[in-house]
Amino acid sequence: MISHASIGVRDLNRAIQFYDTLLGIIGAKEVIRTERAKMYGTSVDEPKLMVCIPFNKKEASAGNGSMVMIQADSQESVKELYDKALELGASDEGPPDDRLGGIIYAAYIRDLDGNKIGFLHRPKS
């Protein structure tokens, strides 16, 4: 249903260094690259995450209430993503913990441009 989510960035090369390292943890790779954007995923036919210089040529800004959730395969992977993001310069928005009454295990960060990113594991019931 979803093709991709886009995150506007101010400095594409800086964002690529951040997301290459971070998303490599979960096996995401470059699936599309242009002068203004890079898409990560497992294939072009699966949902992707795009980091891009805004196409309207205005400065990127974090949207209030906007968030991208990145699915992880375990609670340990959520923690690894969260820790690596902080190590790479992200800021904390909520450490790894049970959320929504234990329905999910998640952590939240703000990337280098202030975009809110979550890491989520949904335990099997």
pLDDT at 64 (0 to 100): 76
Task: Please tell me the pTM assigned to this model.
Answer: 0.87
Residues in a beta bridge with 50:
6, 39
φ, ψ at 69 (rounded to 5°):
-105, 130
**For a pLDDT cut of 90, what percent of the chain falls above it?**
80
Q: Which domains does the chain have, with CATH numbers?
A: 4-55+66-121 (3.10.180.10)
At residue 111, what is the residue type? D
pLDDT tens readout for residues 26-71: 999 999 999 999 999 999 889 999 999 998 888 888 887 789 999 9
Collapse the DSSP code of 55 into the 3-class scheme (helix H, G, I; strand E, B; otherwise coil) and give the result.
coil
Report how far residue 113's alpha carbon sits from residue 47's, in angstroms, rounded to the nearest whole number: 22
